[in-house]
Structure 1
Amino acid sequence: MKSIYVVLMMGIFAEFSSFAEFRIWEDRSGRIWEGEFVTMNAGKVVVQNQSGTKTEYNPEQLSENDLSYLEEIIPPKLSLDVSKTSNSSTSGNSESIICRASIKKANTRIYKGELTAVLVVLAEEMRTGAFSKAGASTEYSFVLPEKHGVVVEFESSAVPLAKSSAKSGRVYAGYVLVVWDRFGNPVAVQSNRDSFLERATKIARPRRR
């Protein structure tokens, strides 16, 4: 039996919304229908047909192929961490900032879908207090390792900024990290400031493909 079945029956995913896709579903009796996955509700799979009618299904009603599909579109809970390193320039007034992102599953559920992480380093203008992107966003696509606890890591490009002790220029303000699923839904968000967190999905959007 697919591992997703156990998770769904436990009701861990009380609510999960997704922009999915219309596909053919099949139950254990062989009945087929066309529908789009909408959400998980109290352990049941909610599917919407072309006319907009939503129907709930217990996981044990669905085929093995449907359960495999759900493994690809319902991401697990993620644990995110971002660390910063800096190297001072010879002039002494500037530094090169690099942010390193670490991502891992917070539970043991299998997820086969591709994810895209977007990491943005943010800077603050010392004289005006205005915030802006310090450099180009770093976009990293990956598939989570099946083994629990294995970390996926990537880092931003080096960004030249002024030191906080400098009298003018842009200084390091923080970061925003957002992980997106293949349907363009944010799965997990991390930032060092609440004000950045509120706008995270606008700041760290993936490039259109």
Structure 2
Amino acid sequence: MKTTKTTITIAALAATFACSSVLAESRVWTDATGKTITAEQTGLLNDKVLLRLENGREINVSLETLSAEDRLLAMLNQPPKLEVKVAAKVSRSNSSLRDAGPASRYQVQEETVSVDARIRKSSSSAYEAELAAELYVIGEHENGYVVLDKTETAFTFTAGGGKEHVVSSKPITVENISGERFGAEYKGYLLVVTDSRGEVVEMKASNGTIEREAEAIIATHPVRRRDKGLDRLATLVDERHFRRL
């Protein structure tokens, strides 16, 4: 799968979600036969590209008549509208008391978490370009909030790909010791959908604070580490904790 570096800033997110599309400036468009025209893209409706000529006249051009490069650009300029539904399944259990020494006993709460994100194309306009989805599962560790798991997938909304794509995290098991700051517990999720240029098309978080911390979350890299007080690898944490929520 082709990996594209994603950079998100609060200003970029605001610009992305303030309007439904980012349209190109006036440029030279080329059709499949090599003929050219100078125009500005003003929209994309079904399989038609809306272009404004230099004299101000607007025309509709079929996507199929454009060169492969310009057909891709026309779709990238106006990404599809997406409907995203995310479901998190969390099961919890408490273990029996464990001895940690002559004068210390503790109980461990175990959580098993899996998150499914369903991404559906709700707009009717054609969009054959590849999209990428990143699903982050967030937990709280002794020093702050951390990325427990990250799942990446690439997909398209072509005839073969359909209008829906599902991203699923693998089941994650974490432990938290009662009365102590050891272990971790599930706190939420972040889903980011980007186009082939790394531009954000859609983002959904379990709460506003996680959404505001999107840039820091994306910058983390989940690693495996043995937690104090636990006798097995029980949690995925990052050495650089993003700001406490």
TM-score, reference length from structure 1: 0.65
The aligned residue for residue 161 of structure 1 is 174
Contact kept, 8 Å, 1:186 with 1:201, in 2: the verdict is no
Q: Residue type of the partner of 1:172?
A: Y
5+ residue gaps, structure 2, are 1-18, 96-107, 222-245
Contact kept, 8 Å, 1:98 with 1:156, in 2: the verdict is yes
In the TM superposition, residue 179 of structure 1 has moved relative to its aligned partner by 0.3
Q: Give the distance between the partners of 1:44 and 1:108, measured in 2 at CA.
A: 15
Q: Give the distance between the partners of 1:202 and 1:34, measured in 2 at CA.
A: 41
The aligned residue for residue 203 of structure 2 is 189
The aligned residue for residue 66 of structure 2 is 65
SS at match of 1:134: strand
Q: Residue type of the partner of 1:111?
A: Y
Q: Give the distance between the partners of 2:29 and 2:196, measured in 1 at CA.
A: 20
In the TM superposition, residue 82 of structure 1 has moved relative to its aligned partner by 1.1
SS at match of 2:60: helix
The aligned residue for residue 4 of structure 1 is none
Q: Give the distance between the partners of 1:202 and 1:59, measured in 2 at CA.
A: 43
What are the equivalent positions in structure 2 for 1:14-163 lying under 5 Å apart? 16-17=21-22, 25-26=29-30, 32=36, 40=42, 45=51, 58-60=58-60, 64-65=65-66, 68-70=71-73, 72-73=75-76, 74-88=78-92, 91=95, 93-125=109-141, 130-135=144-149, 137-146=150-159, 150-162=163-175
Say if 1:122 and 1:26 are closer, same or farther in 2 by CA, change over 3 A: same
Q: Which has the larger radius of gyration?
A: 2
Q: Residue type of the partner of 1:81?
A: K
Is the aligned partner of 1:180 residue 2:231? no
Q: Give the distance between the partners of 1:114 and 1:199, measured in 2 at CA.
A: 26
Percent of aligned positions that are identical: 23
Contact kept, 8 Å, 1:77 with 1:105, in 2: the verdict is yes
TM-score, reference length from structure 2: 0.56
SS at match of 1:183: coil
Q: Give the distance between the partners of 2:133 and 2:166, measured in 1 at CA.
A: 10
RMSD, aligned α-carbons:
4.2
Contact kept, 8 Å, 2:174 with 2:184, in 1: the verdict is yes
Q: Residue type of the partner of 1:108?
A: S
Contact kept, 8 Å, 2:131 with 2:155, in 1: the verdict is yes
In the TM superposition, residue 16 of structure 1 has moved relative to its aligned partner by 2.4
Q: Give the distance between the partners of 1:186 and 1:161, measured in 2 at CA.
A: 30
SS at match of 1:60: strand
What is the aligned length? 177
